[in-house]
């Protein structure tokens, strides 16, 4: 159907899933010891807390009853090497949560196993074979009878193979030696692994397609190559695999031999489908598994014959391999027309409305250990509480609630900085409160003026920073009549403030925002020459306005980041649009207040305001830089529209700034409060950046 055409189940990313596996190391009655990684000493468990998310749809979670209903009365066999067996063991563990199977056959070498599920008359087999066409002297045009003789009677055959080809072999066709793999002998051409696998799979698929004795409805699924993740050596040369988290897409080498091998397998299937007599499908797991160096047993395997070797080929149970059977179930459902994949529509997270949410905030004024006093509105006398009982609802999708563990999993090993004025700090303070419900951070750096702060989350090796700057671009306070403290600035719209720019190197995420300091009397410069002003009301000096100045400043900032040679290659810059103030009955220093206790409706918001014009100029500069990126990545946090509806979310008089007593704060936001949704949006955008759809 149309949904299936839109969704490729095999293109996507891994997203945190705190539901974990369907089974545990204790609930699966037939889990093999040397895949039972916790039993053998593995202490970390995060490798179990991820699920595969296709880019444009949802992959249904495995359900034992659903799977067994599909295969009722059928016979399914995994045919291949010990990694094929690994998948069968995963499937057994998953199915055992619905029904415990009978172990009805095992040959003396434990290569052929048969399990039976009596309630569904379903037979599950594994046929282990070094390579699909023989071993050592590999006859690329002859089928191994050990698995071939078991093909008749099967309803489903899942074929896979490759790992045994990665060693010294002699290759034969028509009974004659044609070359070798890794033999390094004179007069014998080195034909390589890829050549041999291409030939072997071509022979195998043709044989199945031509099989006269096979079931008419036989469905053959080709499972693509499962990558190994040896580092610092080969399997027998000291190689290890002790990583604790997945790779990002950027860390995966799509020019590797493993990816090329997968391409050969896919091509073999495409070739046979042009002349198919039987049914064929693919389980294209290579891309997903190239991102999972954290899922192997490593040094903790229980194989007594290979105690000092790391197993970086097979997969822990439970673990990432379980997703192969989620995909298997989806492919089988697709074949019988019952697959529900929930194709996603494109959703603008920033267009929506506020809806009541009596769950309130994830944290309270007392549960956040890093709560700043100036934003703790309840502490300073605010009595109403409704302002925390709303959540943002995009028009066409759901925005997931913030989850500290999910966020920390996404940013594991990364550095994120908020760069901007005190409202940028306000967002960082909100994020700290949200994350502190998962882990209390260490406060590791504060400069003498408390403008630059650094927090560290040791369990996730995540660093969170804030860099306070007024304008992002260079600005010099203007002396007037011998006075230097004037709060009037000469702003150089084409020069970057080095105070934050020099800290850009090493960051993985930079959330930039700025605007409030532009809303006062300032003089504007480009190329060292004055070009105009803001609110100066002077003859011969054009008042160019706040939107113009902010647009120019952000153009310079985005261009600088795009050109940054020393920055991380994968740097993601997020532009957070203007956060509106809500002064009524006067300006910030002219008696203005913001004591509303309810939201504005969409009709009450002035979309022709200066603030909206500033936001529009920020968005325009963001869209420009997206068209000419130089390896950097840019995203937007377009919060202006949502926050224009929230005049109820500011401290007003409920704050403790001793230097400005009597002034209302209608710029910053109470904690907890509406600002927390910025971090819901931040989490959603970061998940999308990592290939994980969040809506």
**Residues 627, 352 contacting (CB under 8 angstroms):** no
Structure tokens at 512: 């930039």
Query: Cα–Cα distance between 644 and 581 in angstroms, integer?
Result: 8
Query: Cα–Cα distance between 306 and 34 in angstroms, integer?
Result: 11
State the residue for tokens 């969040």: 694
170 in helix, strand or coil? strand
Closest CA to 293 of 312, 311, 309, 308: 312
User: What sign does the CA torsion over 201, 148, 322, 122 have?
Assistant: positive
**Residues 523, 489 contacting (CB under 8 angstroms):** yes
Indicate which residues carry an active-site annotation: 422, 665, 668
User: Which residues are CB-neighbours of 469 under 8 A, at least 6 positions away?
Assistant: 419, 420, 421, 497, 499, 500, 514
β-bridge partners, 509 = 416, 572
**Residues 422, 467 contacting (CB under 8 angstroms):** no
Angle (CA) 129-134-140 rounded to 5° is: 130
Query: Cα–Cα distance between 79 and 157 in angstroms, integer?
Result: 7
Distances (CA, A) of 543 to 162, 247, 276: 70, 51, 73
| Phi/psi at 451 (5° precision) | -100, -30
Query: Cα–Cα distance between 205 and 445 in angstroms, integer?
Result: 62
Query: Cα–Cα distance between 8 and 2 in angstroms, integer?
Result: 12
Query: Cα–Cα distance between 567 and 564 in angstroms, integer?
Result: 6
Neighbouring CB atoms inside 10 A of 308's CB total 7
State the residue for tokens 């056959």: 105
Closest CA to 142 of 203, 219, 215, 59: 203
User: Which residues are CB-neighbours of 562 under 8 A, at least 6 positions away?
Assistant: 625, 628, 629, 630, 632, 634
Structure tokens at 613: 């014009």
Closest CA to 462 of 515, 386, 410: 410
State the residue for tokens 């193979």: 161
Structure tokens at 496: 């970057």
CA 153 from centre of chain: 42
Query: Cα–Cα distance between 264 and 269 in angstroms, integer?
Result: 9
Distances (CA, A) of 51 to 243, 249, 555, 684: 18, 15, 38, 16
506 in helix, strand or coil? coil
β-bridge partners, 169 = 181
Q: Where are the alpha helices (DSSP H) in 319-471?
A: 322-336, 404-410, 422-435
**Residues 90, 136 contacting (CB under 8 angstroms):** no
Q: Is 383 exposed, middle or buried (0-12, 13-18, 19+ CB in 10 A)?
A: exposed
State the residue for tokens 């074929």: 159
Structure tokens at 630: 């130089």
Query: Cα–Cα distance between 214 and 278 in angstroms, integer?
Result: 9
User: What sign does the CA torsion over 530, 536, 540, 542 have?
Assistant: positive
């Amino acid at each position: 159907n149309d949904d299936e055409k839109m969704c490729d189940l095999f293109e996507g990313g891994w997203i945190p899933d705190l539901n974990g596996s369907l089974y545990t190391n204790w609930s699966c009655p037939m889990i093999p010891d040397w895949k039972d990684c916790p039993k053998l000493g593995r202490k970390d468990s995060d490798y179990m807390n991820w699920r595969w998310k296709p880019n444009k749809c949802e992959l249904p979670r495995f359900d034992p009853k659903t799977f067994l209903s599909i295969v009722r009365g059928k016979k399914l066999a995994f045919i291949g090497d010990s990694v094929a067996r690994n998948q069968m063991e995963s499937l057994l563990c998953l199915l055992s949560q619905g029904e415990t199977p009978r172990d009805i056959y095992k040959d003396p070498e434990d290569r052929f196993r048969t399990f039976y599920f009596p309630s569904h008359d379903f037979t599950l087999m594994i046929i282990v074979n070094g390579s699909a066409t023989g071993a050592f002297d590999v006859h690329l045009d002859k089928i191994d009878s050990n698995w071939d003789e078991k093909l008749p009677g099967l309803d489903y055959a899942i074929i896979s193979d490759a790992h045994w080809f990665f060693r010294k072999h002699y290759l034969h066709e028509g009974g004659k030696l044609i070359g070798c793999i890794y033999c390094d002998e004179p007069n014998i051409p080195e034909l390589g692994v890829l050549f041999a696998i291409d030939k072997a799979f071509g022979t195998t698929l043709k044989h199945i397609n031509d099989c006269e004795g096979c079931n008419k409805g036989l469905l053959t699924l080709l499972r693509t190559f499962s990558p190994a993740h040896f580092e610092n050596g080969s399997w027998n040369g000291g190689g290890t695999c002790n990583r604790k988290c997945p790779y990002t897409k950027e860390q995966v080498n799509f020019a590797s031999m493993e990816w090329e091998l997968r391409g050969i397998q896919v091509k073999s299937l495409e070739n046979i489908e042009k002349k198919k007599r039987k049914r064929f499908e693919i389980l294209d797991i290579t891309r997903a598994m190239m991102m999972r160096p954290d899922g192997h047993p490593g040094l903790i395997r229980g194989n007594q014959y290979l105690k000092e070797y790391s197993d970086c080929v097979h997969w822990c149970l439970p673990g990432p391999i379980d997703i192969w059977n989620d995909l298997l179930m989806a492919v089988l459902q697709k074949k019988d027309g019952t697959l529900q994949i929930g194709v996603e529509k494109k959703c603008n997270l920033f267009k929506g409305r506020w809806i009541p949410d009596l769950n309130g905030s994830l944290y309270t004024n007392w549960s956040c250990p890093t709560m700043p006093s100036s934003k703790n509105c309840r502490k300073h006398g605010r009595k109403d509480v409704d302002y925390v009982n709303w959540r943002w609802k995009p028009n066409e999708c759901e925005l997931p609630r913030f989850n500290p563990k999910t966020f920390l999993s996404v940013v594991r090993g990364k550095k994120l900085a908020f760069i901007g004025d005190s409202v940028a700090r306000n967002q960082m303070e909100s994020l700290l409160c949200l994350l502190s419900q998962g882990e209390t951070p260490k406060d590791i750096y504060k400069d003498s003026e408390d403008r630059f702060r650094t927090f560290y989350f040791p369990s996730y090796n995540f660093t969170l920073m804030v860099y306070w700057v007024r304008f992002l671009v260079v600005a010099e306070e203007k002396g007037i009549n011998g006075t230097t403290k004037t709060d009037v600035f000469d702003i150089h719209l084409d020069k970057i403030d080095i105070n934050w720019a020099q800290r850009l190197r090493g960051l993985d995420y930079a959330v930039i925002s700025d605007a409030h300091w532009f809303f006062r009397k300032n003089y504007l410069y480009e190329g060292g020459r004055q070009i105009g002003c803001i609110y100066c009301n002077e003859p011969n000096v054009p008042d160019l306005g706040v939107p113009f100045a902010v647009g120019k400043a952000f153009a310079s900032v985005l261009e600088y980041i795009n050109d940054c040679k020393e920055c991380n290659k994968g740097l993601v810059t997020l532009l957070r649009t203007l956060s509106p103030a809500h002064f009524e009955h006067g300006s910030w220093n002219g008696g203005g207040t913001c004591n509303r206790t309810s939201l504005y409706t969409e009709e009450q918001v002035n979309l022709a305001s200066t603030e909206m014009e500033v936001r529009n100029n920020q968005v325009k500069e963001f869209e420009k830089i997206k068209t000419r990126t130089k390896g950097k990545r840019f995203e937007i946090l377009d919060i202006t529209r949502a926050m224009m509806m929230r005049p109820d979310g500011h401290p007003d008089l409920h704050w403790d700034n001793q230097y400005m007593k009597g002034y209302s704060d209608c710029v910053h936001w109470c904690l907890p409060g509406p600002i927390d949704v910025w971090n819901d949006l931040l989490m959603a955008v970061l998940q999308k950046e990592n290939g994980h759809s969040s809506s």
